[in-house]
Amino acid sequence: MPEAPLDCLVIGGGSGGLAAARRAAARGAKVALVEASRLGGTCVHAGCIPKKLLWVAAELALGLDDAEALGFELERRSLDWGRFTRAIAAHTASLGARYARHLEAEGVRRIEGRARLVGPGVVDVDGRRFEARHVILATGGAPRVPDVPGAALGITSDALFTLPELPCRLCVVGGGYIGVEAASIFRALGSEVTLATRRSHALHDFGATLREALAAELSALGVALAPALVPAALERAGDGLFLRGAQGERLGPFDRVLWAIGRDPATSSLGLEAAGVALGPRGEVLVDAYQDTAVPGIHAVGDVTGGRELTPVAIAEGRRLADRLFGGSPASRVDHDDVPTVVFSLPPVGSVGLSLEAARERHGEAARAYRSTFTATRYALTRRRPRTTVELVVAGADERVVGVHVVGAGADELLQGFAVALKLGARKADLDRTIAIHPTTAEELVTLR
């Protein structure tokens, strides 16, 4: 006898899919979630969480030098890479298990296997058929590898957290989030690192102030910058790997080469053509502002839609969608403006709203920036002297805050509150009349002149 149709079938148990399924169940829907691999998805197993733990270790590694400069006497300073990465794997596995318990407790049926649409509302999971009034696609994405000879000699971020050893000589290709994070983390942990970017700079989308400040800090950290290098081939010769550029450049030898050149939405083999779901040029599922595809009853959230590839965005999309479909909130949708974001480089980069360039495009000469660069008290006695840069972008006669940008220690934790202020429509005068917290980096943002 065929099973009774579900209210909702979610494909993908990562950030977006878990959020959608759990919220739909909380709203009373009969829900199942299909996951082909590990519950938790990219963020838990090959993204945010293991990356943040590596970043913590990298910060501590730099902190050991700082501690010595302050007078601490440290004997053993080496990192037991094997112990550390095993601890990371155990932690992320425990998070996956915790999600399984949540799903069970909240009444979400868990289906293990690979799902494929065979028609609107009909899904095949390794030979089993399920019907649902609503299908939510949340299959995420996968790292892109360039189409150049020898590309398979390199690795992607999927392999980064389970490397058998800390690479002595690492080349990172790509100047986006993963490239900049990996380059600084591995450099701080002791690797020799080269960061190859096809443009003259990394973090192109972040505006000149952040880009230039970060480039200076990466250089100070000892990352070798290889700008304007378009990868043409990867070769093994002698004791290492060599990266060839399109202009005849040859970089190397390296022990590892990391491709960090973006991610592709996971839409192949999903049966989307059979269901009539349209894809964009990058293979992303096309959705409207409510996460609806053009096919009634088929929706998509998270990285598979090709939007901002961030966990909180995927979670918000999943929850708002479930609220709309099952929670009696017909207008529920995500406001994708002014998404705050942090790049976990060393130092971190925090950014919300418009860069000065983007603000000038939107507001013309009415946009201006207040900026300050300084050495934080945190580094008053250390050998290294990282510079912190803060920037406030304002627009209009009343100087409404349209952008807040920070490169420096603490940027990761201080930004969230300023993002709330920006969302509430704060004026510069509102920041000015807020009493500063001293001595911090955040205070610079309320004392800018």
250 contact choice in ligand NAP, ligand FAD, none (CB below 5 to 8 Å, kind-dependent)? none
249 burial type by CB count under 10 A (0-12 exposed, 13-18 middle, 19+ buried): middle
Amino acid at 256: R
* Cβ distance to ligand FAD smaller for residue 176 or 386: 176
Interaction pattern, residues 60-99, with ligand NAP; x per rule: CB under 6 A: ----------------------------------------
Binding site for ligand FAD (CB under 6 A): 11-17, 34-37, 41-43, 46-48, 51, 114-115, 138-140, 157, 178, 266, 270, 302-304, 309-312, 314, 344
Distance of alpha carbon 294 from its chain centroid, rounded?
Answer: 28
231 contact choice in ligand FAD, ligand NAP, none (CB below 5 to 8 Å, kind-dependent)? ligand NAP
* Cβ distance to ligand FAD smaller for residue 140 or 408: 140
Interaction pattern, residues 339-358, with ligand NAP; x per rule: CB under 6 A: --xxxx--------------
Q: By CB under 6 A, is residue 45 in contact with ligand NAP?
A: no
SS3 letters for 147-162?
CCCCHHHCECHHHHCC
Point out the catalytic residue in the list 134, 204, 299, 438.
438
* Interface with ligand NAP in residues 278-317 (CB under 6 A): 309-310
Calculate the alpha carbon distances from 133 to 6, 26, 29, 327, 412 in Å.
6, 17, 11, 15, 41
Quick count: other Cβ atoms within 10 Å of Cβ 150? 18
Q: Which residue in 326, 325, 320 sits closest to 302, CA to CA?
A: 320
Q: To 10 degrees, what angle do helices 208-221 and 177-188 make?
A: 30
* Cβ distance to ligand FAD smaller for residue 268 or 377: 268
Q: Considering only the stretches 15-23, 173-181, 213-221, 322-330, report the one whose residues sit in contact with ligand NAP under the rule CB under 6 A.
A: 173-181
175 contact choice in ligand NAP, ligand FAD, none (CB below 5 to 8 Å, kind-dependent)? ligand NAP
Q: Which residue in 9, 10, 12, 6 sits closest to 35, CA to CA?
A: 12
Q: Which residue in 391, 407, 15 sits closest to 203, CA to CA?
A: 407
With residue 91 as reference, give the H or E element that holds it: helix 81-105
Task: Cite the active site residues.
Answer: 438
Residues binding ligand NAP (CB under 6 A): 146, 173-179, 181, 197-199, 204, 231, 260-263, 309-310, 341-344
